[in-house]
Amino acid sequence: MGVMTAQDETSRAAILTVDDDPAVSRAVARDLRRQYGGRYRIVRAESAREGLDALLQMKLRGDVVAVILADYRMPELNGIEFLEQAMDIYPGARRVLLTAYADTGAAIDAINVVDLDHYLLKPWDPPEEKLYPVVDALLDAWLDSDHRPVPETKIVGHRWSARSSEVREFLARNQVPYRWYSTEEEEGQRLLAAAGADGLTLPVVITPDGEPLVEPTDAELAARVGLATTPSQDFYDLIVVGGGPAGLGAAVYGASEGLRTVLVERLATGGQAGQSSRIENYLGFPDGVSGAQLTDRARRQAAKFGAEVLTTREVVGLEVCGSARRVRFADGTFIDAHTVILATGVSYRRLGAPGLDDLTGRGCYYGSALTEAMACAGQDVYVVGGANSAGQAAVYLARYAKSVTILVRGSSLEKSMSYYLIRQIADIPNISIRTCTEVTEVCGEDHLEMLTLRNTATGDTEIVNAQLLFLFIGAQPLTDWLDGVVVRDRMGFVVAGPDLSPDGERPRGWDLDRMPYHLETSVPGVFVAGDARSESAKRVASAVGEGALAVMLVHRYLEKT
Ligand SMILES: Cc1cc2nc3c(=O)[nH]c(=O)nc-3n(C[C@H](O)[C@H](O)[C@H](O)COP(=O)(O)OP(=O)(O)OC[C@H]3O[C@@H](n4cnc5c(N)ncnc54)[C@H](O)[C@@H]3O)c2cc1C
């Protein structure tokens, strides 16, 4: 017989009993269940090995164990050796050794060796007198300490492991709750041991079911934490590429108006807005709203109307196949639809300073101010950029950091940042601004330690100590995959509607007897919305609005074809 657990009981703390004599084992479990079964999960094992396996499984699942009772005389490991190993897994659990009278000497010795809480002489009849008072006292003591179950995903990583910080960012942006454990903490070490991982390859992600994943890819993570990654159909009315505000807007309107809609996002929904700590100018949110909240609501709204949302799927090709529009994924597979809305937004430009690539994710971060904010406590933080995104990040980080220095290449913030934000920053004492300054080198052993700053007016350089650097240095559309398919402007933004025919002439290659609709690209039935569009407003509200408008034009296109 094996270890007994029940799925629906996982939220309750466990009492584990281990005895190699099946009759005794059953008797202990029966007595315990009778008294404690309503409040605790009674787990029974018939060997030390089985008991340890049960503890490891429970550790990975994030369950808590209140009391462990082990028989002294067992083959393989005796009760004391077993409890010693159990302590490594659950140091907070109270420990009881079950002994026969002849073994009391060993039990007394064990009090010192394994910090035993109690020993019980067998038989303990009647349990009301001999067993329950002991277990009651141990449970009271255990309840006084703080041991709560951790049912969510657990990440064991290191602060300066680039992939650890990417995984946190990925889960946070997909609204997947997780608990972070550093490898420097004892609990982190215990989880690594339970997962059988050496800690050299990080992070180790443990799913809520207790399955350990060593340095998983985004796609593996998405699949294991319940995010959809594969389309359910091969033909749709509408494919939306990109899951930022424009794409989510299009998915909500498309699905709510009865179009079979699928949204494909290469990373996590939310786009740039998902990284904003506070959007203050979005209609209907007078006190501001975080990008994560806005994304979570939009995503739920899209799902409610029946839109499919695929994450971690990058689109690498768009093809015209007769009246169908084909969207190809990086793995070569594809889906078709009557229409496509391109909502791929823009991505951060990279800074070319020597040393930066190596330290990205190890103290240097592009845009991800939110998940790293806690790490800023008491630190000197630098933010590069002069636009609103940099300003918002500085305001947010200043709540935690000792100091925040905004580094701006230009001579003032006025040209690039909104007036309200400049005023807000001026009122925060631990934010300072260095204009005419650029980062020319980034140094550090295994994480950021120093920055070289250059004054662009005088050419003087200065080396400063820095633990954290956040970069918000503008963005570019990643639209190379559309080359030769749709018309793009000099910078790579997708040209649409009247902008395709500034002279009023029909665009080249356009063979319909109507002109392109407002957000329609040079390929009929393919539309663009949001920041990816040439001459777009680069605002959340306009991106959402364009997503909705594009759906209206999709309807018009479908009616006429
Ligand atoms: C930190 C920050 C703060 C901001 N604050 C504000 C603010 O306060 N107010 C405001 O109005 N605006 C703000 N903005 C600007 C605003 O967020 C953007 O204008 C808006 O997000 C644009 O939406 P979008 O959907 O067009 O593009 P994006 O938000 O860029 O989303 C595009 C999405 O498409 C995905 N994608 C790209 N290529 C592919 C591909 N090939 N396959 C699959 N998916 C792909 C990306 O991963 C991304 O998720 C801020 C921007 C940032 C970065």
Q: Which tens digits make up the pLDDT trace of 366-401?
A: 876 567 777 888 999 999 999 998 999 999 999 999
> What pLDDT shows up at residue 76?
86
What residue's CA is closest to ligand 1, atom 41? 315
CA distance 281 to 288: 7
Residue 4 confidence (pLDDT) above 90: no
296 lines ligand 1 (CB under 6 A): no
pTM of the model: 0.79
CA distance 120 to 69: 9
264 lines ligand 1 (CB under 6 A): yes
User: How many other C-beta atoms lie within 10 A of the C-beta of residue 352?
Assistant: 9
> Which residues, in sequence order, are CB contacts of 513 under 8 Å at separation 6+?
none
270, 345 contact by CB (below 8 A):
no
Task: Give the SS3 label for residue 115.
Answer: coil
pLDDT digits (tens, 9 = 90+) for 216-232: 999 999 988 889 999 99
pLDDT digits (tens, 9 = 90+) for 470-506: 999 988 998 999 999 999 999 999 999 999 998 888 8
CA distance 348 to 475: 4
Burial class (CB in 10 A: 0-12, 13-18, 19+), 339: buried
65: nearest Cα among 10, 23, 2, 19: 10
CA distance 352 to 357: 8
Percent share of the chain, pLDDT over 90: 76
CA distance 94 to 147: 12
Lowest-confidence region among 3-12, 185-194, 523-532: 3-12
97 lines ligand 1 (CB under 6 A): no
> Which residues, in sequence order, are CB contacts of 79 under 8 Å at separation 6+?
18, 48, 70, 71, 72, 73, 97, 98, 99, 110
Task: Name the residue with higher pLDDT: 4 or 74.
Answer: 74
Mutate to test the pocket of ligand 1, among 175, 240, 266, 272 (most ligand atoms within 8 A of CB): 272
Ligand 1, closest atom to CA 281? Answer: 9
> What pLDDT shows up at residue 185?
94
What residue's CA is closest to ligand 1, atom 27? 345
Mutate to test the pocket of ligand 1, among 275, 540, 542, 544 (most ligand atoms within 8 A of CB): 540
194, 89 contact by CB (below 8 A):
yes
Residue 311 confidence (pLDDT) above 90: yes
Ligand 1, closest atom to CA 541? Answer: 11
pLDDT digits (tens, 9 = 90+) for 248-266: 999 999 999 999 999 999 9
51 lines ligand 1 (CB under 6 A): no
Q: How confident is the prediction for the chain on average, in pLDDT?
A: 92
Q: What is the average pLDDT across 119-139?
A: 91
Residue 529 confidence (pLDDT) above 60: yes
Q: What is the average pLDDT across 114-127?
A: 86
CA distance 63 to 177: 16
What residue's CA is closest to ligand 1, atom 49? 271
> What pLDDT shows up at residue 370?
67
Residue 182 confidence (pLDDT) above 80: yes
Cα 267 to ligand 1 centroid, rounded to whole Å? 12
Task: Give the SS3 label for residue 520.
Answer: strand
The string of DSSP letters for 399-456 reads TTBSEEEEE-SSS-STTTS-HHHHHHHHT-TTEEEE-SEEEEEEE-SSS--EEEEEET
Task: Name the residue with higher pLDDT: 368 or 209.
Answer: 209
> What pLDDT shows up at residue 135?
95
Lowest-confidence region among 55-59, 197-201, 272-276, 304-308: 272-276
**Residue the block writes with tokens 């164990």:** 65
CA distance 367 to 165: 13
First vs last Cα of the chain: how many Å apart? 67
373: nearest Cα among 359, 347, 390, 393: 393
Ligand 1, closest atom to CA 242? Answer: 34
H-run or E-run covering 172: helix 162-173
Could you tell me the maximum CA-CA distance found in the chain, to the nearest angstrom?
103
Residue 9 confidence (pLDDT) above 50: no
